[in-house]
A and B are shown apart, each in its own frame.
Chain A
């Protein structure tokens, strides 16, 4: 079945540091890939997505590139801020998993804390 493996953390950085959160996936078909962010006590918000190989998703200074050859979708940001402190989830939907059920498969999440 489909699966997502991401760096579990926690990750602690100083403000303006470079961020990488690793994410790799296993899928039988041609997945779309997502990063979600969850702030304390809230639901998940879509951060960025990529729907085919070599696509780069970007939003709010975050980027991730869909690498089919390494089955990866690593999240990066060049200079983190205190306000980026949150839990980050990598996820996928697979076009070929059970037809059109559009189920999202999530990684376990990575807690990021950014200190001033």
Chain B
């Protein structure tokens, strides 16, 4: 079955480390997104990409980086510049064409230790 796979499900980061969250989809969707979810704050957009080798900053891109070398993959790196990275991270994808809902992965919970 097609879907979005996020890994790992749980991730622990030490202070000053960079970590990379994986997002892979086999839905042949064009656009992919990364959201951050914090309690009581809903979802906030970090980065998004509509085509390979192109991506755009969202509302809270500082301290994060992404790449889109393949249509199926959109990894997110949380750098040491992100001062408060503990959160639940969600990846999503959608085919081009208005009115279509996103498909979400099951999320990665990142904790700073």
Interface residues of A (CB under 8 A from B): 32, 34, 36, 41-46, 49, 51, 89, 93, 95, 100-104, 106-109
Contact = CB atoms under 8 A, between A and B. Distances in A.
A85 to B, nearest CB: 17
B78 interface: no
A51 B99 contact: yes
Given A43-B106, A89-B43, 19 more contacts: A32-B98, A34-B101, A42-B106, A43-B92, A43-B104, A44-B90, A44-B92, A44-B102, A45-B104, A49-B101, A51-B98, A51-B99, A100-B98, A102-B50, A102-B98, A102-B100, A103-B33, A103-B48, A104-B33
B90 to A, nearest CB: 6
Interface string B32-64: 010000001111010010100000101000000
B50 A93 contact: no
Nearest to B48: A103
Interface string B84-107: 000000101010101111111111
B interface majority secondary structure = strand
Nearest to A90: B42
A59 to B, nearest CB: 11
Nearest to A105: B45
Contacts, number: 61
B66 interface: no
Given A43-B107, A44-B90, A46-B102, A102 B43 contact: no
Contacts of A95: 98
A103 B45 contact: yes
A101 B50 contact: yes
Contact of A93 (B6, B98, B106): B98
